[in-house]
């Protein structure tokens, strides 16, 4: 396909400086892409392209404005940026390291091409600092064949992370094969992973491919790796080291080309120290660790998650289902031990009992209302409890949002309080008070 002018993929170039734009166009042409320079006043792109290459936006503020406008109209178009762009929308945005290298540009354009036409959104919902970090790690590691270990409590979205890595990787046209190592009895796991020959054991009436074979050219997701028996750990380690395996009941070595992503809710270093998990296997898997935060540590993402879940879990009228601020506030104060899975189940249930209209505080099951009344003297009426609950939880929710914003501003300003205060449009003294109140000083 490369070199064939008719099928060259188009790339938009957003760079007002003519000399710099010409340089970017040259580089794109060299990589067999068709560059089209767009004006900084452009908001809508004409025709089909795979990405927008954004020049130095730090020097030209209208570039950043135009980038957000384009993003608004084309939310799933990847942006490849030579400088930091303000976070906007949910589309992918990848920063290029400078000096601009051909291989990096090529890699990112390849990734954009894989995105193209699939309307693939960044599936890890949220804009909390914790989740932005996770997204960045996913984007860093996706293009490499590195083993990834995803840790975090149950229901935090580990499998979703694994899938996203696969979809962003050059293996995205290959299979994504998950296997839950904890759900399969130890004596069956070997044949599940490596397959077996006919007659290999009682019940093996025909030969069967294992998950390694099924995942050839793609990604194998080893879920609940912490539950794997020591025996199997040895066998897995061998495959990871040698990239070869044998079906059960066969002595024919097969090579495999599979990327491994593992996940667990178990504290593996602890399991290693207690002799339940092999240290060498741990190091093999832990080449690139990603830790999924529990929902209560990213509670500012709750409104977005709920709204998205309402759309996916709601039935025919999904688009019209709403949730009231007080109901949301109550949910924000709940600790969510079951994380997003628990939230998803609740939303599914709410969407059944309330298929249209707005989910109100009264619709939320009692066990999510963890508020203890501040004034316990008089037994309050139901309505008063509900109101106060809404108020108290709204307050705690707003405080969490405030803490999150302060942390982000402090980070963005490298810990300089005066600068963070400016970012937050807040008096320096007020910010100092809040930092000490929330104990945010690092
Ligand atoms: N960021 C997210 N946005 C929407 N749904 C999510 C998100 N993260 C997880 N989920 C949903 O929550 C449930 C649990 O996620 P899963 O990846 O199975 O968690 P884990 O593997 O950590 O137990 C799934 O139904 C998944 O689709
Ligand atoms: Mg899981």
* CATH number of the domain within which 103 lies: 3.40.50.2300
217 CA distance to ligand 2 centroid (A)? Answer: 23
Residues 228 and 278 in one domain: yes
- Provide CB contacts within 8 A for 235, sequence distance 6+: 190, 193, 194, 245
CATH of the domain at 173: 3.40.50.300
Q: Looking at the CA of 224, which ligand is closest?
A: 2
CA geometry: angle 348, 298, 272, nearest 5 deg: 100
Ligand 1 atom showing the smallest separation from residue 131 Cα: 1
- Provide CB contacts within 8 A for 377, sequence distance 6+: none
Residues 432 and 304 in one domain: yes
User: Radius of gyration of the chain from Cα atoms?
Assistant: 26
Nearest CA to ligand 1 atom 16: 157
Residue 410 maps to a domain = yes
Residues 26 and 96 in one domain: yes
CA geometry: angle 3, 165, 303, nearest 5 deg: 120
> Considering only CA atoms, which of 420, 299, 417, 317 is closest in space to residue 359?
317
- Can you tell me the distance from the alpha carbon of 137 to that of 141, in angstroms, rounded to the nearest whole number? 6
291 CA distance to ligand 1 centroid (A)? Answer: 14
Nearest CA to ligand 1 atom 15: 157
Domain boundary among 237, 267, 291: 291
State the angle between helix axes of 18-30 and 102-115 in degrees (0 to 180), rounded to the nearest 10.
Answer: 70
Q: Looking at the CA of 125, which ligand is closest?
A: 1
Residue 103 maps to a domain = yes
- Can you tell me the distance from the alpha carbon of 9 to that of 98, in angstroms, rounded to the nearest whole number? 24
Residues 349 and 269 in one domain: no
Residue 351 maps to a domain = yes
Residues 274 and 133 in one domain: yes
Nearest CA to ligand 1 atom 10: 157
Domain boundary among 115, 141, 173: 115
167 CA distance to ligand 2 centroid (A)? Answer: 18
Residues 152 and 284 in one domain: yes
Task: Select from 341, 342, 345, 346 the residue to mutate for testing ligand 1; criterion: most ligand atoms less than 8 Å from CB.
Answer: 341
Residue 122 maps to a domain = no
Domain boundary among 251, 271, 291: 291
402 CA distance to ligand 2 centroid (A)? Answer: 31
Instruction: Give pLDDT, residue 402.
Output: 82
Instruction: Give pLDDT, residue 90.
Output: 56
Residues 278 and 311 in one domain: no
Residues 231 and 345 in one domain: no
Instruction: Give pLDDT, residue 342.
Output: 95
- Can you tell me the distance from the alpha carbon of 83 to that of 96, in angstroms, rounded to the nearest whole number? 7
Residues 15 and 60 in one domain: yes
72 CA distance to ligand 2 centroid (A)? Answer: 33
Residues 165 and 268 in one domain: yes
Return phi, psi of residue 375, to 5°.
Answer: -110, 100
Residues 244 and 312 in one domain: no
210 CA distance to ligand 2 centroid (A)? Answer: 20
Ligand 1 atom showing the smallest separation from residue 263 Cα: 21
Residue 124 maps to a domain = no
Nearest CA to ligand 1 atom 24: 341
Q: Which residue range is the domain that position 29 belongs to?
A: 5-115
Lining residues, ligand 1, CB within 6 Å: 124-126, 152, 154-160, 305, 308, 340-341, 344
Strand stretches in 26-170, DSSP E: 34-38, 51-54, 79-81, 93-95, 148-151
CATH of the domain at 383: 1.10.8.60
Low-confidence ranges of the chain (pLDDT < 70): 1-7, 86-91, 115-122, 314-319, 371-397, 441-442
44 CA distance to ligand 1 centroid (A)? Answer: 34
Q: Please state whether 208 falls in left (phi above 0), alpha (psi between -120 and 50) or beta.
A: beta
340 CA distance to ligand 2 centroid (A)? Answer: 11
Residues 282 and 343 in one domain: no
Nearest CA to ligand 1 atom 8: 157
Nearest CA to ligand 1 atom 3: 125
- Can you tell me the distance from the alpha carbon of 15 to that of 1, in angstroms, rounded to the nearest whole number? 27
Residue 153 maps to a domain = yes
Q: How many domains does the chain have?
A: 3
Residue 179 maps to a domain = yes
């Amino acid at each position: 396909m490369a070199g064939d002018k008719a099928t060259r993929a188009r790339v938009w170039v957003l760079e007002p400086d003519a000399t710099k734009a010409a340089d970017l166009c040259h580089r794109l042409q060299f990589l067999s892409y068709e560059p089209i320079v767009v004006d900084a006043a452009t908001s809508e792109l004409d025709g089909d392209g795979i990405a927008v290459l954004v020049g130095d936006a730090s020097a030209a503020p209208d570039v950043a404005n135009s980038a957000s406008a384009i993003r608004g109209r084309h939310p799933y178009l990847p942006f490849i940026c030579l400088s930091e762009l303000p976070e906007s929308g949910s589309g992918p945005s990848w920063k290029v390291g400078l000096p601009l290298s051909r291989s990096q540009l090529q890699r990112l354009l390849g990734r954009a091409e894989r995105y193209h036409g699939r309307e693939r959104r960044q599936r890890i919902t949220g804009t909390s600092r914790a989740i932005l970090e996770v997204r960045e790690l996913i984007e860093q590691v996706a293009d490499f064949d590195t083993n990834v270990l995803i840790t975090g409590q149950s229901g935090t979205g580990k499998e979703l992370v694994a899938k996203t890595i696969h979809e962003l990787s050059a293996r995205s046209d290959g299979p994504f094969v998950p296997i839950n190592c904890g759900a399969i009895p130890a004596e069956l796991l070997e044949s599940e992973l490596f397959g077996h020959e006919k007659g290999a054991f009682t019940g093996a009436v025909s030969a069967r491919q294992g998950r390694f074979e099924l995942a050839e050219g793609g990604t194998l997701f080893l879920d609940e790796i912490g539950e794997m028996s020591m025996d199997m750990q040895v066998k897995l380690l061998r495959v990871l080291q040698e990239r070869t395996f044998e079906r059960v009941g066969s002595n024919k070595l097969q090579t495999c080309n599979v990327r491994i992503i593992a996940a667990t809710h178990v504290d593996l270093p602890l399991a290693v120290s207690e002799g339940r998990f092999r240290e060498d296997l741990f190091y093999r898997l832990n080449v690139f660790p990603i830790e999924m935060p529990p929902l209560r540590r990213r509670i500012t993402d709750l409104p977005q998650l709920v709204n998205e879940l309402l759309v996916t879990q709601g039935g025919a009228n999904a688009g019209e289902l709403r949730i009231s601020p007080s109901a949301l506030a109550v949910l924000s104060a709940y600790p969510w031990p079951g994380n997003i899975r628990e939230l998803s189940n609740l939303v599914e249930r709410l969407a059944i009992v309330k298929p249209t209209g707005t989910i109100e505080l009264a619709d939320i099951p009692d066990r999510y209302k963890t508020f203890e009344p501040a004034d316990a003297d008089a037994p309050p009426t139901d309505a008063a409890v509900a109101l106060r609950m809404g108020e108290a939880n709204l307050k705690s929710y707003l405080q969490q949002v405030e803490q999150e914003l302060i942390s982000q501003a402090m980070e963005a300003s490298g810990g300089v309080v005066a600068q963070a205060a400016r970012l937050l449009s807040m008096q320096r003294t007020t910010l100092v008070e809040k930092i000490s109140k929330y104990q945010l000083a690092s």
